[in-house]
A and B are shown apart, each in its own frame.
Chain A
Amino acid sequence: MSLDAHLVVAERGLNVRFDLSDASTLALVGPNGAGKSTVLETLAGLVPADRGYAHLRGRTLFDTSTGTSLAPHQRGVAMLAQDALLFPRMSALDNVAFAGRANGLDKRKAYDRARRWLEGLEAADIADRRPGQLSGGQAQRVAIARALAAEPSLLLLDEPLAALDQPVAAEIRRTLGRLLAGRSAILVTHNILDAALLADHIAVMDAGRIVEEGATQDILQRPRTRFAAQLCGLNLVSGVAVIPDSIIGADGVMVVGLPQVPLTSGAQAVASFAPASVSVYREAPLGSPRNMFTGVVGAIVPQSNLVRIHVGPISADITPGSLANLRLETGDPVFLTVKAAEVSLYPA
């Protein structure tokens, strides 16, 4: 076990308990204000916890029951934020060497290590530049080199790619993926790609609690909370299981699908399906589709080469051609159908 933590910050309504196995990366996802950044700040020692503890590789970062708490600089926990926050009056190389110097290396060793890290991040050519002369992507590379040059036991990443343009973010995401292998890290993100490509585990937070957690693959393939489903672009209906192959939602609507594991009647379960598998009609379709919902068109949003129609909690992706054919507008009543074979059912 790398990290074992229970964090309570009353002022921000945070109360989470989680652990992190050695050399693995945990992604914290969830809506704004869920408390994800507070988790990082509390672990770094920048925000005091009211109750709880954090043990990192056998060291106690803090424990309110014994009243111990290490100062931020004693924790071996480096933080990387959305802004690179390079010290403005130092060159890129000085910035990275600062980390080594702060950890007691002599000047030569600190600068040797700094050069190696800049090379590792393909940023050796900008070593002598001031932060003001760097692009966003270059600055973030230097910031990553600086964080790693501190050789932290735990790396905290707070939306490290959120401020960058797509192609730059993709490049740095690849670099990060390589560097995070073999390290313990916690990554706060809003981006499904970050979670899918960088994290071994995902914890979904809402209102200061962890509401769902598991291996990345499980969460992304079988989300159990609406936020996780949204993150992976899936529709989610939660309700009570009715064997063999359906659930009844809170509003009485029934969804039939393929159980991924045998269901227990009366137990909480969820149904998930892709927006692309939802068909939209103006008139009730002929025959008797097993899954049919009615509702009113809420929003119509272009999505790359498709158009997403929001009807209550369900979204449907249709082609621009079908949209023109249906002449849909906000406020129009519609019928939605989904083939049972396209719906996954599993316990919540």
Chain B
Amino acid sequence: MTAKPGLPGWIYLPAALGAAFIVAPIAAMVTRVQWSHFWSLITSESSVAALLLSLRTSGIATLACVVVGVPLALVLARSRSRWVDIGRAAVLLPLVLPPVVAGIALLYTFGRRGLLGGSFEALGIQIAFSTTAVVLAQTFVAMPFLVISLEGALRTTGARYEAVAATLGASPTTVLRQVTLPTMLPAIASGAVLAFARALGEFGATITFAGSLQGVTRTLPLEIYLQRETDPDAAIALSLVLVVVAVAVIGLGRERMRSA
């Protein structure tokens, strides 16, 4: 590839430094993988349990993000109310909040003595320190990724197709189902991919709000953190698995976006 006109040659030095800063640690980790034990390390009972739990909870969290995040993005992008700006700021909060703070916030909402926890308790449902808590924590931190990327796409596309559909006699529900959602499908897919990746890597909010119970709340990032103390080789092997899954997710997302 040739340089874009006007781009000075020296800019490639800091650019290369930036790329190296991201690639080098991954490479360093890969060099430490004990390939001879790799398979047995990642197929140990606790590893498999953690991986399956991670995939399951991240999948459900992503679904939850789509179910409520798509309507939220639509409202933020299309509503003319002044409250929308406040709403958007609130939705962005989990992006900048330390995950451990998010965990504490969730604990004081759904925990035993939390705002809503008492009501759930009365129904015989305990949320904190359950698999449900893992999903809630992941949904909380991942939703902004979907909402922000989808809202941006909605704003770029504009409401002109919707306006035409409405003047043709289509009710708002028909317009949403047949015009808006099909047009937005690639953006929803890439937003969901982002949300899934964020949910998969979630650590701080999960350990605070859901704890670390094998097979119940101990997701892959938690398992890696714990193994690091006792069995560094296993931690490295599992980290590599997480890297591979992340790369696959990004690749899938790019493919979806390109095919759109």
Question: Which of A72, A83, A152 meets B166, CB within 8 Å?
Answer: A72
Q: Is the CB of A78 within 8 A of B179?
A: no
Q: Is the CB of B165 within 8 A of A87?
A: yes
Contacts A/B (CB < 8 Å), 25 sampled: A44-B167, A45-B166, A46-B163, A46-B166, A71-B166, A73-B166, A73-B169, A77-B167, A78-B169, A79-B164, A79-B167, A85-B160, A85-B164, A87-B165, A87-B183, A89-B185, A90-B182, A98-B165, A99-B169, A102-B170, A102-B171, A103-B169, A147-B168, A150-B168, A156-B167
Contacts of A76 in B (CB 8 A): 169
State A344–B96 Cα separation when bound (angstroms).
Answer: 73
**Extra A-B contacts (18), CB below 8 Å, given A79-B164, A103-B168, A147-B168:** A45-B167, A72-B166, A72-B167, A73-B171, A73-B172, A74-B169, A75-B167, A78-B168, A79-B167, A81-B160, A83-B160, A85-B161, A89-B185, A98-B170, A98-B178, A99-B169, A103-B169, A150-B169
Q: Is the CB of B161 within 8 A of A73?
A: no
Is A88 close to B, CB under 8 A?
Answer: yes
State A83–B157 Cα separation when bound (angstroms).
Answer: 14
Q: Is the CB of A73 within 8 A of B183?
A: no
Interface centre among B161, B169, B178, B185 (most CB of A within 10 A): B169
Is B34 close to A, CB under 8 A?
Answer: no
Is A113 close to B, CB under 8 A?
Answer: no
Is B174 close to A, CB under 8 A?
Answer: yes
State A45–B162 Cα separation when bound (angstroms).
Answer: 13
State A246–B171 Cα separation when bound (angstroms).
Answer: 60
CB distance from A323 to the nearest CB of B (A): 42
**Chain A residues packing against B (C-beta within 8 Å):** 44-46, 71-79, 81, 83, 85, 87-90, 98-99, 101-103, 146-147, 150, 152, 156
CB distance from A6 to the nearest CB of B (A): 21
CB distance from A291 to the nearest CB of B (A): 50
Q: Contacts A78-B168, A146-B168 given; indicate if A89 touches B183 (C-beta within 8 A).
A: yes
CB distance from A274 to the nearest CB of B (A): 41
B residues 44-75 near A (Cβ < 8 Å) are none
Q: Using C-beta atoms within 8 Å of the partner chain, give the interface range for chain B.
A: 10 to 19
Contacts of B175 in A (CB 8 A): 73
User: Residue of B at shortest CB range from A156?
Assistant: B167
CB distance from A114 to the nearest CB of B (A): 12
Interface centre among A73, A77, A146 (most CB of B within 10 A): A73
Contacts of B169 in A (CB 8 A): 73-74, 76, 78, 99, 102-103, 150
Q: Is the CB of B167 within 8 A of A78?
A: yes
Contacts of A74 in B (CB 8 A): 169
Contacts of B164 in A (CB 8 A): 79, 81, 85
User: Residue of A at shortest CB range from B157?
Assistant: A88
B residues 177-213 near A (Cβ < 8 Å) are 178-179, 182-183, 185
User: Residue of A at shortest CB range from B163?
Assistant: A46
User: Residue of A at shortest CB range from B164?
Assistant: A85
B residues 138-181 near A (Cβ < 8 Å) are 160-161, 163-172, 174-175, 178-179
State A44–B167 Cα separation when bound (angstroms).
Answer: 7
Contacts of A152 in B (CB 8 A): 167
Q: Is the CB of A87 within 8 A of B161?
A: yes
CB distance from B165 to the nearest CB of A (A): 7
State A147–B166 Cα separation when bound (angstroms).
Answer: 11
State A75–B160 Cα separation when bound (angstroms).
Answer: 18
Contacts of A146 in B (CB 8 A): 168
Question: Which of B168, B171, B172 meets A98, CB within 8 Å?
Answer: B168
CB distance from B172 to the nearest CB of A (A): 7
State A89–B182 Cα separation when bound (angstroms).
Answer: 7
State A151–B10 Cα separation when bound (angstroms).
Answer: 63
State A75–B171 Cα separation when bound (angstroms).
Answer: 11
CB distance from B110 to the nearest CB of A (A): 39
State A74–B174 Cα separation when bound (angstroms).
Answer: 13
Contacts of B160 in A (CB 8 A): 81, 83, 85
CB distance from B184 to the nearest CB of A (A): 10
User: Residue of B at shortest CB range from A75?
Assistant: B167
State A83–B163 Cα separation when bound (angstroms).
Answer: 13
State A99–B172 Cα separation when bound (angstroms).
Answer: 14
Q: Is the CB of A88 within 8 A of B168?
A: no
State A45–B185 Cα separation when bound (angstroms).
Answer: 27
Contacts of B185 in A (CB 8 A): 89
Q: Is the CB of A73 within 8 A of B163?
A: no
State A23–B161 Cα separation when bound (angstroms).
Answer: 28
Q: Is the CB of B165 within 8 A of A102?
A: yes
